[in-house]
Amino acid sequence: MDQEKRIAELEQRETELLSSLAKNETERKSLERKIRRLQHDMQSINAMYENAVYLRNFDAREKEKQTLYNRLLLRACPSILIVFDNEMNYVIGTGELVCQQFDFRDPLELSHRSLKDIFGNTAEASWVAQTSAHCAQVLKTRESTQYND
């Protein structure tokens, strides 16, 4: 009787272990699928990262080239030319000529200065106001304008 009881217990234990083994095998296969999916995701992320780095570097090179072309064009320009941003601050221009005309020592001083800061010391206040108004109109309408002072 003890032996039959022992056999029954062992058979029950074997059934539990086989069930646990089957569960573990299912979990292992599931984890393997997750690992493959994660590896694929990681490869995709790496490819996207490499592409982003390439595009960033390409964009930086193009920006440098454009800046060089702008500077070469401005160096050859015989007139005063100034480009302001949306806040009416100096971005780029014929720096040497602007400095000579408006009493600045170095073109680097012009960087991020407002239209009023650049023209205010040497130009008449009415001219500065009129020019500011024309620039504001261009910013508002996004259409170019021309005027004679």
pLDDT higher than 90, residue 43 = yes
What integer pLDDT is reported at residue 96 of this predicted model?
Answer: 86
Residue 86 has pLDDT above 80, yes or no: yes
Single-letter code of the amino acid located at 105: R
Q: How far apart are CA 135 and CA 83, in angstroms?
A: 11
DSSP assigned state of 88:
S
* pLDDT of 60: 96
Distance CA 67, CA 63 (A): 6
pTM, two decimal places: 0.55
In this structure, the strands spanning 90-93 and 82-84 are antiparallel
pLDDT band, residue 61 (cuts 50/70/90): very high
CB 110 within 8 A of CB 95: yes
What pLDDT shows up at residue 27? 96
Which of 40-44, 78-82, 143-147 is modeled with the greatest confidence?
40-44
